[in-house]
Amino acid sequence: MKYISSLLLISVFFLTVKATAQDIGDKTLLTIDGTDYDAGTFMKFYFKNIDIVQDEDQKNIDNYLDLYIDYRLKLQQAYSLDLHKKEDYLKEIESTRSSIAQAYLTDNEVSDQLVREAYDRGNKEVNASHILIKVDRAASPADTLKAWNKIHDIEQELKNGASFSSLARTKSEGPSAGNEGNLGWFGSFRMVYEFENAAFETEKGSFSKPFRTDFGYHILYVKDTRPNPGELTVAHIMAFDKKDSDSKNAQERILEIYKQVQSGKDFKQLAREFSDDGNSAARGGKLNKFGTGGVDEVFANAAFALKNLGDYSEPIKTKFGWHIIKLLEKHPVKSYDDLKKELENKIKKSPRSRKITEGFINKLKTLYNIEDQNALPKNVYTMVNDTLLLSGKYKFDDQLTGLDQKLFTINEASYKIGDFLKYVETKMAKDFKPYPSKKAKLDAYYTEYSNDQLMSYYDKNLERDNKEFRFLYNEFKEGFLVFDLIETEIWNKAKNDSIGLNEYFNNHREDYKWKRRLDIVLTQNVSRDIAENVRQQLIKKVAIDDIKSSLNIDNKTQVIVSSGEVEETYNRLPDNFEIKLGVSSVYHDAGDSFYKVIDVKEIKEPTNKTLEEARGSVVNDYQQELEKSWLDNLRNGHQIKVSKKVFKKVKKAIENQLD
């Protein structure tokens, strides 16, 4: 999805303007080339972005008006270029409309029952295995019945005493089959809701009844339960073998580092110096806090096995590489009051919110002044064959009398018996639940049909019937247009305008230079004596492997060596390092655990980069120059008029609301 970062005009928050602002909301604030823009829309934009704008100047109402005028001018230019007619844009808008509409097609008032259920489950974790027989929700009746028979037969085998792990290994169609169906430990919100329900409602040491999810039919076995251990903050040192390297020595390196940890060397310093995890190395190896289900299982198990703050693990191997983990902080599960808002937001975004669909349907009935639907007319029951309906073989007959009889209306839309019976045939293709009678099945289908039509009608008319959605959707449409405009006028031009790019590069050659580069061997030694020993050997041209062999003895690592080409600002060089060819003296910076000796084999003086070497930076800088020129000329040729009287009232309304 695209974001209009320059104006920050797309976000998920919406603030309505108070009564004072509503009084002037329909007044014309701005006119550009004869097109009027009202004050209410301007204030909505301002309030939506006030909390996320980083630049204080943009919070100034006068400055924000300038941004708003530029935004409207950009939109005018986008429309003049017919960007709103592009196929990619139309597809993007269609997809976005479908995505953002979902938040308006459910009840946002999450029930206390769902929140309490989520919290109680969040205090517990389940260790479970499962058996899966795959079948899609939209599978044919034959395929669905075949899958049901398979899972039913497996259930009977379990009831007769068969081993769950053996059946999972031989009959499950899920990716965990090779691991006997084992899923490890998990808590709430880690699995789809139907699966979570089965996990938390099945007794320890028992297996569930067959149940269905979007993946197919499952039987779940609960091996164990435990209290949720909460979350941890840890630091780690990581080593992994580079894919493009001939040398595979991650395990050797992590063992060398582990010896340094054991000897009392500072963990943060070691992480900064040697960890291959570039994201955390600068923070001394510190990672964001996580729970048992938030990271690799092997990593999590090792981390949660640490008991005391400051404890560290032996080197462990995960699918990402080798790690040494140090425990920094424990975070117990929060209280209900502290988590309530977070859980409400999670539930709103999760499938479990479907439980409150009924309340939402009632709200729509109120919106459209619809009374509860009466029972199906009696003639409908006579129009459907009992056996065919209950066996799932009913087919709609368009020759029946009475198909045009009206069932109900929603405003201007009318729904007839024929529409419902077509729905019945379609519905049966995905529904294989048993029903006690024809009437029970038709009544259930009629309830679903009338609710579906009500939801569908509301969905189709969201822009008309929901002001909040209309504003947000229009904002997305306009935001995408501005994005496409900038892409067309700036980014693509900078990438494809080879003549302009070359001219810009030639005019700014001095801005693109290589820094001085050094080809070095960097040795980090545990003491000054060792460092001096290494220095003398380097002077005598002793091979690096021979130096390490002579000093790293008796299972003790006393020197660690790295080599390669680096820039003179390389952060592992000593602060006061004197750059010259040959072997350096011994350096020891304050706070550094190591004594360093550096052999400088070659010095490459600063040189100008070629266009190809600097292309990324040049394109970025050229884009910025094009954008500045574009913005400087954006208002040329346009008639722009701001109503000073209305703007004065707008400023007062905004300032009153901010107080």
pLDDT tens digits, one per residue of 435-444: 878 988 999 8
Are 190 and 153 in a shared domain?
Answer: yes
Least confident of 256-265, 321-330, 448-457, 486-495: 486-495
Most distant pair of Cα atoms in the chain: their distance: 106
Count of C-beta atoms within a 10 Å radius of residue 387? 9
Q: Is residue 414, in this structure, part of any structural domain at all?
A: yes
Q: Is the pLDDT of residue 497 over 70?
A: yes
54 phi, psi to nearest 5 deg: -85, -35
Q: What is the DSSP letter of 335?
A: P
Q: Is the pLDDT of residue 12 over 70?
A: no
Q: By the 8 A CB rule, do 269 and 592 touch? A: yes
Are 166 and 223 in a shared domain?
Answer: yes
What pLDDT digit, counting tens, does each position of 219-251 carry? Answer: 999 999 999 999 999 999 999 987 665 556 889
- Nearest by Cα to 384 from 420, 431, 335: 420
Which pLDDT score is estimated for 244? 60
Which range among 50-54, 156-160, 465-469, 588-592 has the greatest average pLDDT? 156-160
530 band by pLDDT with thresholds 50, 70 and 90 = very high
Average pLDDT estimate for 188-200: 92
Query: Which of 227, 252, 274 represents a domain boundary (last residue)?
Result: 227
Average pLDDT estimate for 134-158: 87
**CATH code of 312's domain:** 3.10.50.40
Q: Is the pLDDT of residue 108 over 90?
A: no
The size of the chain, in residues, is 659
Q: Is residue 142, in this structure, part of any structural domain at all?
A: yes
Tokens of 458: 């509301």
What pLDDT digit, counting tens, does each position of 565-586 carry? Answer: 898 989 899 988 999 999 999 9
Are 275 and 306 in a shared domain?
Answer: yes
Which pLDDT score is estimated for 5? 36
CA dihedral 212, 215, 216, 220 (to 10 degrees): -60
Percent of the chain with pLDDT over 90: 63
Least confident of 1-10, 75-84, 423-432, 455-464: 1-10
Q: Which domain holds residue 441?
A: 368-462
10 band by pLDDT with thresholds 50, 70 and 90 = very low
Which pLDDT score is estimated for 224? 94
Count of C-beta atoms within a 10 Å radius of residue 536? 13
Query: What gap in Å lies between CA 291 and CA 560, rounded to an integer?
Result: 34
Are 138 and 185 in a shared domain?
Answer: yes
Query: Which of 227, 249, 276 represents a domain boundary (last residue)?
Result: 227
Average pLDDT estimate for 94-110: 82
Are 305 and 377 in a shared domain?
Answer: no
Q: Collapsing DSSP states into helix, strand and coil, what is residue 220? A: strand
Which pLDDT score is estimated for 1? 44
Q: Quick one: 251 exposed, middle or buried, by C-beta within 10 A (0-12, 13-18, 19+)?
A: middle
Are 378 and 428 in a shared domain?
Answer: yes
Q: Is residue 433, in this structure, part of any structural domain at all?
A: yes
Tokens of 184: 């490890």
Query: What gap in Å lies between CA 121 and CA 119, rounded to an integer?
Result: 5
348 band by pLDDT with thresholds 50, 70 and 90 = confident
Are 327 and 249 in a shared domain?
Answer: yes
Tokens of 532: 């001096």
β-sheet with 216-227: strand ranges across: 182-186, 124-134, 216-227, 211-213
278 band by pLDDT with thresholds 50, 70 and 90 = confident
Query: What gap in Å lies between CA 407 and CA 544, rounded to an integer?
Result: 89
Q: Is the pLDDT of residue 137 over 80?
A: no
Are 255 and 169 in a shared domain?
Answer: no
Which pLDDT score is estimated for 53? 58
The structural domain count of the chain equals 4
Are 238 and 221 in a shared domain?
Answer: no
Tokens 């729905």 -> residue: 423
Query: What gap in Å lies between CA 317 and CA 150, rounded to an integer?
Result: 38
Query: Which of 421, 445, 462 represents a domain boundary (last residue)?
Result: 462
Q: By the 8 A CB rule, do 646 and 27 touch? A: yes
Instruction: Give the strand pairing for 35-38 and 28-32.
Output: antiparallel
| Cα distances (angstroms) measured from residue 223 to each of 212, 366, 445 | 20, 48, 39
- Nearest by Cα to 489 from 170, 204, 47, 77: 77
Q: Is the pLDDT of residue 90 over 80?
A: yes
Average pLDDT estimate for 92-117: 84
> Is pLDDT larger for residue 113 or for residue 275?
275
Query: Across all residues in the chain, what is the average pLDDT?
Result: 88
Average pLDDT estimate for 415-440: 90
Average pLDDT estimate for 491-496: 83
Q: Is residue 588, in this structure, part of any structural domain at all?
A: yes
Which pLDDT score is estimated for 602? 95
Tell me which H or E stretch contains 601: strand 595-604
Q: By the 8 A CB rule, do 129 and 172 touch? A: no
Q: Is residue 71, in this structure, part of any structural domain at all?
A: no
Tokens 């120059």 -> residue: 625
Q: Is residue 50, in this structure, part of any structural domain at all?
A: no
Which pLDDT score is estimated for 575? 86
- Nearest by Cα to 199 from 291, 147, 130: 130
Q: Is residue 13, in this structure, part of any structural domain at all?
A: no
> Is pLDDT larger for residue 603 or for residue 292?
603
- pTM given for the model: 0.48
Q: Is residue 551, in this structure, part of any structural domain at all?
A: yes
Which pLDDT score is estimated for 110? 64
What pLDDT digit, counting tens, does each position of 159-173 carry? Answer: 999 999 999 999 999
Which pLDDT score is estimated for 58? 64
Percent of the chain with pLDDT over 70: 93
Average pLDDT estimate for 279-305: 90
Which pLDDT score is estimated for 493? 82
What pLDDT digit, counting tens, does each position of 582-612 carry? Answer: 999 999 988 888 999 999 999 998 889 899 9
Which pLDDT score is estimated for 55? 63
Are 210 and 240 in a shared domain?
Answer: no
Q: Is the pLDDT of residue 18 over 50?
A: no
Count of C-beta atoms within a 10 Å radius of residue 187? 21
Are 221 and 139 in a shared domain?
Answer: yes
Are 201 and 158 in a shared domain?
Answer: yes
What pLDDT digit, counting tens, does each position of 380-399 carry? Answer: 999 999 999 998 999 999 99
Q: Could you tell me which residues are beta bridge partners of residue 366?
A: none
